Amino acid sequence: MELSHIDGSGRAVMVDVSGKRPVRRRAVASGRIGLRPETVGMLREGRLEKGDAIACARTAGIMAAKRTAGLIPLCHPLPVDHVAVDCSLQEEGVEVRASVTTTARTGVEMEALTAVSVALLTLYDMCKAVDGSMVMGEIRLLEKTKEEAD
């Protein structure tokens, strides 16, 4: 298996996508944060001292998707056409799902994964004063699509 970000000398390099044609691309990622039932109740009732953690996490995820190239060294800066971050409150925590769309020469998988990760970190930050048992995980790419060129 050949790694696209490693050159013949074993050095990390940015992939040259200049020869590719821009096409519409979409990626969907998800992740979870496990919370105590009391913390879930506080989220549901809006009783966290720091405010609306769900709204804040959603906004943070959107902002993170737009800044991915500044965080991940070999990512291409992409024109992000749309980002949606949904936080679903469940009995045992919160599931975060992010969808990112672009028309570009390369995909938006890293943008979707970054959106999920930062949304989860935001939830962690906003809940840390009341829940020391939080666990983030199961961050994964669920889907990536690319419209074929005409």
**Site of tokens 């980002």:** 83
Reply yes or no on whether 52 is catalytic. Answer: no
Cα-based angle 70, 71, 77 (whole degrees, multiple of 5) = 40
Rg (CA), the chain: 17
Residues 122 and 53: beta-carbon distance below 8 Å:
yes
Q: From the candidates 16, 81, 86, 125, give the one annotated as an active-site residue.
A: 125
Residues carrying an active site annotation: 125
